Structure 1
């Protein structure tokens, strides 16, 4: 018995229930729409973490000039730089990882969605969600498995559209990260990391890719709203 068995069963019941409920309106895209709704419910539940993450990110942006000064002062002594940077964050009540809380918290939900659309059976019953498609692309299939049927075949085009949207989100996230990213390898990693989602999405089921797209879009809107409100008093 896997640790994911119960969560997968619960997710199956929720996604299938949503798909059945919106079926008369969404038609063939009911299951795909249900996945998006499932993702939005997850992100809504994590809104308090997002508020905390936004606060932490504002603190990091405020401390960035001091961090850069420390990097310049101790560039030849990495251990001293690490100690001084940690002391600065501690003194200011900030943490470099606070902005990652929503990402870490939703990782189990993504794994549940991944397992759901990789399982032929759920709780001993046939997984009927695997029969659903989005514009002809099976929700349980990944892009790599479809390329053999033609790069520009209709199912492959669905994935290409998904990857293009994820790439646009990655560009936005990378540019945003560049505003507060520290110098050096850590800064480069912060700017490059968002593009890993695009590569990752090519190897996971379409359903998991939809989760990534819906979650990434939520993140973009969420940050724009939270940071817009935070910046308003200073304007």
Structure 2
């Protein structure tokens, strides 16, 4: 009856672990998904009113992007990493694709589209302008005149427009070889009196991020104000605030919208006081807006303000460079490293350096595993010595269990005494596992948040280390025309993980408690189900670590062989002791 009760208890506990994990993991530990990123869906954006009252866009029906792009005059953007156009109507950067990144791992996959014009599905754009009293400022329908027909890192362009009062507005746009635009806004007052005008910049986005925001990965509105990163912002909070918006007064900083891999950000002068915030002008129509202090410009004088606009991939070294060299405050925090940033960035650095040497991130992960296990070798040696000691005293433990099977308190006392006499610690085996948890979680975050891991192949069928294993056993590795749900999507790597854990547990000392035996017997296969939806790179790390552990255990057990104790003698001794 006791064995049956323990078996039922083990099954119930295992089921709770298996199903309970599935219930909470999506909230607290979002698993990797196939890295297919597309910005689509949504409706027309209405231009906000940042600070003062720039006119709103005229509502139009949603049209195809190709049609919208043909409706207005444009300037070509052509850099090593970016391609697109600037809309001369409204002076907007509203058409941008990232040359270096594709939507899927397929060879014919189109490049990632980041920005789209108003009137097209999922419009997403940046605009820059002026507001003020006594100023006929250009609006969203103003058609600017351009010098030059192409924006490149070597050839900036100047957009200009003159109002009826003789006030000339110029917007000089430059771009570097990566993803950073520099916007210089000038107002030349050719009128008869002084004017007060305030420059502004905005990013308008239709729809929420396709990458879900969670406890471990923030997506959506993000900003740094007064040297503090704000991860508390969300699309839901902006919806609640509506057109009134969520406002921040800051000196410098930056704000925008971030996906898991992509970012748009307005970056004012680091020393300039700004008013910034997020607002919603319609359901799922969001805007990040910043405006500087008003400039009072006398007749015949000019005023100018410079800000930057980032639109591109959240590459780790690039964000660090902009932060350190250009003084963009805390720009590296655009990547949500989380609590273990102090460990995650070094792990990424090691992976990146090894990748530069070997040219394969999968191999780099395996080498990282060897490095981690090497650093932990002394701790592991202590663990395995204790486990070898546990194996050595196991015959005596069985004898005590047989002798005191009807007296549990006495059995625990005798076991504790035996541990002290033999100088073994049954909990020593937990230490290496506890030490590895931060490393394992840090690698999980690195695989999840760094674009350098996106679409990185390993070998054979593993074409994206940041996505789950695509070969599923239940559909016969793609021969059957269906995709199993993530809960049942057991791939080859997950199976190898289960087998490696089973082999590792087989080398461990057998638990005395029957329920523990049952749980340890089921745990490898439970973990196989739990880990199946996670990134392939994470499973490669765990499998490699398991096999290294097995090799180290086997070697150490040969150094500390278990003395053979005939089973018959153990039983006789137990019976004799019982009679006494």
Same fold, judged at TM 0.5 (above): yes
8 Å contact from structure 1 (residues 8, 112) kept in 2: yes
1:1-235 aligned within 5 A: 2-23=338-359, 30-120=360-450, 127-134=451-458, 135-143=461-469, 152-153=477-478, 160-177=491-508, 180-231=510-561
Cα distance in structure 2, aligned partners of 1:183 and 1:232: 21
Shift of the alpha carbon at 1:95? 0.9
- Alignment partner, residue 163 of structure 2: none
CA contact (8 A) 1:169 1:216 kept: yes
Bigger radius of gyration, 1 or 2? 2
Counterpart-to-counterpart distance in 2, 1:197 and 1:18: 29
Residue by residue over 1:182-228, the C-alpha shift from the partner in whole angstroms, topping out at 9 and shown as x without a partner, is 25222333333333432232032111101111101101111122222
Measure, in 2, the Cα distance between the counterparts of 1:86 and 1:224.
27
Report which structure shows greater RCO (CA 8 Å, sep ≥6).
Answer: 1
Contact 1:165 1:213 in 2 (8 A): yes
Task: Tell me the secondary structure at the aligned position of residue 40 of structure 1.
Answer: helix
**Which structure 1 residue ranges, 5 or more long, are not aligned?**
24-29, 121-126
Cα displacement (A) at 1:64? 1.2
Mapped to 1, the partners of 2:545 and 2:434 lie a distance apart of 13
User: Hey, what's the Cα distance between the residues in 2 that align with 1:181 and 1:46?
Assistant: 25
Secondary structure of 1:2's counterpart equals: coil
Partner of 1:26: none
User: Separation in 1 of the partners of 2:557 and 2:373?
Assistant: 17
TM-score (norm 1): 0.79
Aligned-pair distance for 1:131?
A: 3.0
CA RMSD of aligned residues (A): 2.9
**More moved, 39-48 vs 60-69:** 60-69
2:504 and 2:549 in contact (8 A); partners too: no
How far apart are the structure 2 equivalents of 1:68 and 1:183? 11
CA contact (8 A) 2:468 2:534 kept: yes
Name the stretch that deviates more: 179-188 or 62-71. Answer: 179-188
Q: Is the contact made by 1:16 and 1:129 (CA closer than 8 Å) also made in structure 2?
A: no
Q: Structure 1 stretches (4+) deviating beyond 4 angstroms?
A: none
Instruction: State the Cα deviation string for residues 71-99 of structure 1 (Å, max 9, x = none).
Output: 22332333332233222212322111112
In structure 2, the CA distance between the partners of 1:165 and 1:14, relative to structure 1 (3 Å rule), is: same
Task: For 1:146 and 1:225, locate their aligned partners in 2 and report how far apart those are by CA, in whole Å.
Answer: 34
Question: Is the CA contact 1:35–1:211 (under 8 Å) kept in the aligned structure 2?
Answer: yes
- 2:212 is matched with none
CA contact (8 A) 1:60 1:180 kept: no
Unaligned runs of 5+ in 2: 1-336, 484-489, 565-580
CA separation of 1:115 and 1:206: change in aligned 2, threshold 3 A: same
Change (3 A) 1:232 1:22: farther
Comparing 32-41 and 85-94, the one that deviates more: 85-94
Equivalent residue of 2:534, what SS? coil
Q: CA deviation at 1:136?
A: 4.4
Q: Decide whether the 8 Å contact of 1:142 with 1:205 is kept in 2.
A: yes
Distance 1:233 1:176 in 2: 16
Contact 1:174 1:192 (8 Å CA) reproduced? no
Q: Distance in 2 between matches of 1:229 and 1:137?
A: 41
